Amino acid sequence: MHTERVTIEGAVFLTTLHLAGPVGLLALHGGVEGGTAELAREVASRTGATLLTFTQPLGPPTHIPSIRMSPCTPLTTFLTHTALTISLHGHNRRSTPRTIYAGGSNRPAARILATALSHWAPAFVPITTLSDIPHPLRGLHPDNPVNQTRNGGVQLELPVRARTSHPVPTDPEVPPREVVDGITAGVRTLMEREGVGW
């Protein structure tokens, strides 16, 4: 496990990188999108996936869009090492408080994760049809890190209750066990299918 401070657009981030399996768990907005870093850590520890989280230990948190996250050394190392990225984000859309949007360029992988979430976390509704995902949450831009590993990736946009058991901010955040179980099952399936097109 390697930690490093990086500065992006004036914001100071603490990155935590652990190189392991071919699937990578990425949380670009840990602390801003509560529970995403904790969820990524838990799933990576269960599956042997590679892990990279960004948190902001100093000052008020700043949300920098994914496409503007600079190619700092930890992110470059992560993208070079992994074959497929699962990028965890949070959405706060009041009209869809139980919806998990599965965007990103790797559509077969998105469907695998959605199937696992449907089984393990039935209280939430995973959406994979791109036309049903709000445009800002689709995660399809080529500059988005989720699409820059060699097999692309899946951008999971999670509502508050799918990423923390405490809707009011807490320290530490505690991801719901059923969501951890669902993403873990999906990642394990993806790792088993590595090299066969996902």
Task: Report pLDDT digits (tens) over 81-95.
Answer: 999 999 999 999 999
Measured at the CA of 87, the angle between CA 85 and CA 89, to 5 degrees, comes to: 175
Asked whether the predicted pLDDT for residue 194 surpasses 80, the reply is no
pTM of the model: 0.94
Is residue 20 a part of any domain in this protein? yes
pLDDT confidence of residue 169: 60
- Give the pLDDT band of residue 170 (cuts 50, 70, 90): low
**Domain assignment of residue 102, given as a range:** 2-192
Beta bridge mates, 125: 99
Is residue 143 a part of any domain in this protein? yes
Is residue 18 a part of any domain in this protein? yes
Asked whether the predicted pLDDT for residue 98 surpasses 80, the reply is yes
Is residue 198 a part of any domain in this protein? no
pLDDT confidence of residue 143: 95
Is residue 67 a part of any domain in this protein? yes
- How many domains does the chain fold into? 1
- Give the pLDDT band of residue 195 (cuts 50, 70, 90): low
Report helix, strand or coil for 15: strand
Is residue 79 a part of any domain in this protein? yes
Q: What is the mean pLDDT of the chain?
A: 93
Is residue 32 a part of any domain in this protein? yes
Asked whether the predicted pLDDT for residue 144 surpasses 70, the reply is yes
pLDDT confidence of residue 114: 98
The CATH number that applies at residue 141 is 3.40.630.100
- Give the pLDDT band of residue 171 (cuts 50, 70, 90): low
Copy the structure tokens of residue 98: 């139980």
Is residue 124 a part of any domain in this protein? yes
Report helix, strand or coil for 185: helix
Alpha-carbon distance 48 to 130, whole Å?
29
